[in-house]
Chains A and B, each alone.
Chain A
Amino acid sequence: GENVEQHPSTLSVQEGDSAVIKCTYSDSASNYFPWYKQELGKRPQLIIDIRSNVGEKKDQRIAVTLNKTAKHFSLHITETQPEDSAVYFCAPETGGGTSYGKLTFGQGTILTVHP
């Protein structure tokens, strides 16, 4: 199955700083790369995703970059705000093959934004 590692496990920044979380995966056939945000006591929700035919995607203060050669993708949050404080998960996925539909999440990154 897919091996997924997320770094760092915790990240503390000052409001207004940038935050970067990296997700490394093992399956070179992975072709869908989402990031989920989970606020305290809430369910995970998609914040941004990217597909393998695109190298970067941006949505306001949030961006995702993909390096398929090195098998990693990263979440970038600029001008962080206290409401960005949450746990962030990556979940790279391979469409097709014997592991079709099987999902492996990263261990999560706890982001704390200090006012």
Chain B
Amino acid sequence: EAQVTQNPRYLITVTGKKLTVTCSQNMNHEYMSWYRQDPGLGLRQIYYSMNVEVTDKGDVPEGYKVSRKEKRNFPLILESPSPNQTSLYFCASRPGSYNSPLHFGNGTRLTVT
């Protein structure tokens, strides 16, 4: 089944403890991206990747890191999480670089205390 898989679905952590949210797609998509969703603010792009080893900042990249060493994987790294990073996170991919719809993962609910 074609899908975008995120793990974990839920994560509770403490301030400053490094964490990684994984994202993997099995559709051979070039483009992958991360979003955070907060009430009233919609979906805001954190980082995106046009292809392997190519990543760029979205609108809210502060406090996050990403890497794209393989085409299928695009992990989101929080080196020192803070409470303002408590949010719902979505990973998404698509075949072309534009003009095609995003396929979203099921989301990761992160709580930082």
- Give the interface of A toward B (CB within 8 A): 1, 6, 31-32, 34, 36, 42-46, 49, 51, 89, 91, 93-96, 100-108
A105 with B44: CB separation less than 8 A? yes
B58 within 8 A of A: yes
B97 with A95: CB separation less than 8 A? yes
Cross-chain contact of A107 among B42, B45, B107 (Cβ < 8 A): B42
Assuming the A-B contacts A44-B104, A100-B50, are A31 and B99 also in contact, with contact meaning beta carbons closer than 8 angstroms in the complex? yes
Q: Which range holds the interface residue count of chain B? A: 20 to 34
- State the total of A-B contacts with C-beta under 8 angstroms: 69
B41 with A107: CB separation less than 8 A? yes
For chain B, residues 74 to 95, give those with C-beta under 8 angstroms from any C-beta of chain A: 90
CB distance from A104 to the nearest CB of B (A): 7
B104 with A103: CB separation less than 8 A? no
B45 with A104: CB separation less than 8 A? yes
B1 within 8 A of A: no
Residues of chain B within 8 A (CB-CB) of A43 are 90, 104-107
CB distance from A30 to the nearest CB of B (A): 10
CB distance from B4 to the nearest CB of A (A): 8
Cα separation A100 to B90 with both chains bound (whole Å): 20
Cα separation A10 to B96 with both chains bound (whole Å): 32
